[in-house]
Structure 1
């Protein structure tokens, strides 16, 4: 069975840069390109199949018309969204809702559980994960009074770090960071604070009411721990398994064979070059391994991140 390679969709942002072109050779729309939606069937940025029997078809169309490719996975929409994010400047301080809140307040949308793999970052870079408010009353007071230095929890990062971001967790990517993000197929984000920046001469919209209603207090750090093992031809790191996805990384040297036993698997080539079942692959390519594809044989020196819906 052939793999489903995808044509990325790019999103410009006031905090974006040019590293998506510099690192992966993407033809980006401008010098402020913030996101590559690499595997997406979301209506706000949908990928098309690139090459093969389904060339040019929308991923959402395949999901509906060829459910056997996805192992008849339940649901009326492709469940995950894979992005590469280039943060030249700081992103807003934000929070995502869970399925229940989004379903009620966002026209039946999915909530947004996500995770970050740090592809690269400048020395001394931090990210925002969590907050220091003891309860919702103190949280509301800190937000209303703009006591951001007291509220926001920052942690240092380095290349190769991994973070699980559950709904209700205050978070922000800081400038100088490039990440691969695996998330539910949702585009719902509530901005808590945006550094009083202007976009087209106006402050960007904040979502204070929704943020206070969705931020969980007190903050509890995710306890997921990555597990490493050496396989024939690859070093394997399992990052997380949660309600919505599992995420793994394979650092391949030489020949590595694997049979993905899930209904389908998303694959992102994050570095190096090689082949998969004889098809050439390079960093920046993304594809879906359909259900029942059998053995996948990777050859070369490359690193891949794979995700499966749970």
Structure 2
């Protein structure tokens, strides 16, 4: 097959975390490094976790290499790095309360890094689970006071969460995934996180680094809640939801129970199978598979009973 029309299946990269668990192994059947595997970097060309291609003409190549040397696969879009990073996050324990910078701040303070807008699709969670998004400070002065007094329960905003919920986390938003939540995260290709509070946990006997001043710099006050408006369309055996569209990415969800031909007008598409199994262009796919539809493949056929999270960038 012409390499420009081959679907690119990715080999994920796994990161152990102090708060990680084993659901990436038990639910997705990944070969994870330990019982504390917190993150699956499923589609990534970031230097801290560069995925390799698992099939076809480019088998064994790093995604970053394809971005550099075969930009035609991605519609010849501009940019010095692959723009997106797709993760599955297994939070056995609470993550640190944190915030991310925008492109401008990260570019100045983090050696030219991208900032980090991200969004979460809740794959599963415990009953009565909550996540942390936003804060209650009226202005920067009150924010600084609450932080220095360590009034975390007064500062942070907890909201209930259930399977299938979706949240957009803009740069400058205080947030944390909490224990018992499994999330598919779509984000800018950045690994910059400012920890505001880490529940006084120890890693190898010492507290993990906090980034209080940088956090104060980038937290937006007051917090303005961002409502998720999910646009839905139905086709034969297919239900599609538009989850978000922002400056950095769009994310859709497709639920299939049948067969459907799709036409792609975007430079490329990233797909993650979140439930079920089926085929794409007669190639078997199942829960936990992640792949890229390259620019040369304009039409593709999905068949089966499955759910897929789709992301990409606008032209």
Normalised to the residue count of structure 1, the TM-score between the two structures is: 0.99
5+ residue gaps, structure 2, are none
Deviation at 1:233, TM superposition (A): 2.1
2: distance between equivalents of 1:226 and 1:292?
29
Deviation at 1:261, TM superposition (A): 1.0
Match of 1:188 in 2: 192
Match of 1:5 in 2: 9
For residues 249-281 of structure 1, give each alpha carbon's deviation from its aligned partner in whole angstroms, at most 9, with x where no partner exists: 000001021112100000000110100001000
Match of 2:265 in 1: 261
Match of 1:133 in 2: 137
Match of 1:306 in 2: 310
> 2:281 pairs with 277, 288, 299, which one?
277
Match of 1:238 in 2: 242
Deviation at 1:224, TM superposition (A): 3.4
For residues 189-231 of structure 1, give each alpha carbon's deviation from its aligned partner in whole angstroms, at most 9, with x where no partner exists: 0000000000000000000000000000000011331111211
2: distance between equivalents of 1:22 and 1:257?
32
| SS of residue matched to 2:226 | coil
Normalised to the residue count of structure 2, the TM-score between the two structures is: 0.98
1:178 equivalent in alignment to 2:182: yes
Match of 2:228 in 1: 224
Q: Retained in 1: the 8 A contact 2:133–2:175?
A: yes
1: distance between equivalents of 2:261 and 2:163?
26
Q: Which contiguous aligned blocks of 4+ residues in structure 1 show a shift greater than 4 angstroms?
A: none
Q: Retained in 2: the 8 A contact 1:130–1:221?
A: yes
2: distance between equivalents of 1:261 and 1:14?
41
> 2:105 pairs with 101, 114, 130, which one?
101
> 1:41 pairs with 21, 39, 45, which one?
45
| SS of residue matched to 1:137 | helix
Match of 2:64 in 1: 60
2: distance between equivalents of 1:263 and 1:134?
42
| SS of residue matched to 2:77 | coil
1:53-92 paired onto structure 2 within 5 Å: 53-92=57-96
2: distance between equivalents of 1:30 and 1:54?
29
Query: What is the aligned residue count?
Result: 310
Q: Retained in 2: the 8 A contact 1:261–1:292?
A: no
Q: Retained in 1: the 8 A contact 2:236–2:258?
A: no
5+ residue gaps, structure 1, are none
Match of 1:163 in 2: 167
2: distance between equivalents of 1:223 and 1:194?
27
